[in-house]
């Protein structure tokens, strides 16, 4: 499984790269802030929402600490997706937040 740390994602965000970020936390966690531009798909709903994802795009998967996103990465990789787990998750992320 590919991983990146929060320094790497902050550099990509600062460079205005086109990023496809999926936040797999629960609604109450996302209400406390999400990485700008991230799509919220709670971990338990990923199988039913696969149709919303594009297998030709690389995704960065985020959760609170990195465990749930690792599970999501394993599942999505098995479905043929190119995914990267954000190590440390939102606990390690100290960049800008968006509130939905």
Q: Name beta bridge partners: 20.
A: 59
Q: Active site includes 73?
A: no
The single-letter DSSP state of residue 63 is -
Q: Is 91 in contact with 64 (CB distance < 8 Å)?
A: yes
The residue annotated as part of the active site, out of 30, 62, 63, 76, is: 63
C-alpha gyration radius of the chain: 12
Residues with catalytic function: 63
């Amino acid at each position: 499984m590919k991983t990146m740390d929060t320094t790497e994602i902050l550099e990509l965000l600062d460079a205005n790269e086109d990023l496809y970020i999926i936040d797999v936390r629960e609604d109450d966690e996302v209400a406390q802030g999400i990485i700008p531009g991230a799509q919220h798909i709670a971990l338990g709903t990923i199988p039913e929402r696969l149709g919303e994802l594009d297998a030709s795009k690389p995704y960065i998967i985020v959760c609170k600490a990195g465990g749930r996103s690792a599970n999501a990465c394993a599942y999505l990789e098995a479905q043929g997706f190119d995914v990267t787990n954000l190590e440390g998750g939102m606990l390690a992320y100290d960049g800008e937040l968006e509130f939905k």
